[in-house]
A and B are shown apart, each in its own frame.
Chain A
């Protein structure tokens, strides 16, 4: 078996790497947060606390996995499976490096958007099937937030798509080799994508669907054991996905000085964004739900449309 795009070996390696990285983020996030808050964080289990992840996993696997008797069992079990499946499927179109990837789809960008919109079901079904007030409130918020921010996310990518003339993520990276990274012409698109990405993966500061100070844990209030673990790891998978998408769309993917392999540059850039998201969590307080919505529809939507319009004008005038 060879290691090329779409071979069984590369699919397996990518799947395993992505899941392991997402699980390690549990430790990375707690460590980084603690440095920014002048603490030490988990440093007891193994060197630097690295084995904390293993300990957490043992705990999650051996905890009682309880389905409340009043819950709708079918949807309750389905919900955490959806989020994992959908996010892992999204990784299939990401070009990690030359020759590393699962598929080179002609509709890569759209595929990611489609999977992101399907991800909303996970949250909604979880809240609806739990038959719990807090869960229902959480999933109501999640539904509105995810549908709205999907729109801005889609529009903000369109500038990049228009510049490169393709929906294929690998070709977008190759186009950046010639034209320079798209962060420069598409800075506004980048900022909007960043904000929408945070909202889409409901990370702090936009973790309104699971704001524990207001609504317990939101949509996963009733979840425990492995099912909760899937939501938990799913959130980190989403973080990795958004970071790698930003890297691919705006920061030239694997491009970089050639003394190191492409996969190194890709990982470095993605990790920088993961760290940035964790910094956001450490620094910015959570807005109110209506503030988030107003900000989205009255600020992000016009700005992203303007960005698209101006990009179109520039492309057409330089033809």
Chain B
């Protein structure tokens, strides 16, 4: 099982790097979806099946579809490909790489101090829901009010 976790993790990392390096935006999106699915597998292996499936449904299944939907509307041709390629110059890489290496260093120090075994207890849907509607009910309600507001305003805009 833990081997599966490492494989999925490696897939996620490689796919994410591919997202950044791809110049064709549709291919980049496909890699992003792959990366999200790999993260979902990681969740599943770590004992959070509910989070894994929600990752697949919400992120890979709905949000990325909307991204693709928008790309369909924008007429991406050879021109945008060339533009992307020109942005890939070495100068652009300096600052992001510096920032990323700082983050990596932090992550490594944290990980080196963490010497517990991975606790692989499965948290099933019932427990997650009990938590959501128990201690975190306020957050859930706030989020739902936000979504409701979004729904109502979308309806209003569509009516005009």
**Which residues of A are interface residues toward B (Cβ below 8 A)?**
72, 74-75, 78, 105-107, 110-111, 113-114, 116-118, 120-121, 124-125, 127-129, 136, 139-140, 143-144, 146-147, 150, 167
Contact = CB atoms under 8 A, between A and B. Distances in A.
A120 B57 contact: no
A93 to B, nearest CB: 11
B72 A107 contact: no
B68 A124 contact: yes
B50 A140 contact: no
B18 to A, nearest CB: 12
A136 B73 CA distance: 9
A113 B33 contact: no
A140 B71 CA distance: 11
A120 B65 CA distance: 7
A22 B61 CA distance: 25
Contacts of B24: 72, 74
A26 B68 CA distance: 32
Nearest to A131: B77
Nearest to B24: A72
Interface in B41-69: 49-50, 52-54, 56-57, 60-62, 64-66, 68-69
Given A125-B26, A140-B72, A167-B125, A106 B65 contact: no
B62 A124 contact: no
Interface string B116-160: 000000001100000000000000000000000000000000000
B121 to A, nearest CB: 14
A82 B73 CA distance: 22
Contacts of B72: 124, 127-128, 136, 139-140, 143
A124 B26 CA distance: 11
Contacts of A110: 50, 53-54, 57
B115 to A, nearest CB: 31
B11 interface: no
B85 interface: no
Nearest to A144: B69
B27 A75 contact: yes
A72 B65 contact: no
A162 to B, nearest CB: 11
Q: How large is the interface on B (under 10, 10 to 19, 20 to 34, 35 or more residues)?
A: 20 to 34
Interface in B62-121: 62, 64-66, 68-69, 71-73
A263 to B, nearest CB: 28
A103 to B, nearest CB: 12
A202 B83 CA distance: 37
A143 B53 contact: no
- Which 7 A-B pairs give the minimum distances between C-beta atoms? A117-B61, A114-B56, A110-B53, A114-B57, A107-B49, A107-B53, A143-B69
A316 B53 CA distance: 27
A120 B66 CA distance: 11
Contact of A107 (B27, B33, B50, B71): B50
Contacts of B71: 128
B72 to A, nearest CB: 6
Contacts of B65: 117, 120-121, 124, 143, 146-147
22 contacts: A74-B24, A78-B30, A105-B49, A106-B124, A107-B50, A107-B52, A107-B125, A110-B53, A110-B57, A111-B53, A118-B56, A120-B61, A121-B33, A124-B65, A124-B72, A127-B72, A128-B68, A128-B71, A139-B72, A140-B72, A143-B69, A144-B69
Contacts of B54: 110
Contacts of A72: 24, 26-27
A6 B116 CA distance: 33
Q: Which of A75, A116, A118 has the most CB of B within 10 A?
A: A118
A105 B62 CA distance: 23
Contacts of A121: 33, 64-65, 68
Nearest to B76: A128
A87 to B, nearest CB: 14
Contact of A75 (B30, B49, B50, B124): B30
Nearest to B155: A297
A114 B57 CA distance: 5
B61 A124 contact: no
Nearest to B75: A136
Given A74-B27, A110-B54, 14 more contacts: A74-B24, A74-B30, A75-B26, A107-B52, A107-B53, A114-B57, A121-B64, A129-B26, A140-B69, A140-B73, A143-B65, A143-B72, A146-B65, A147-B65
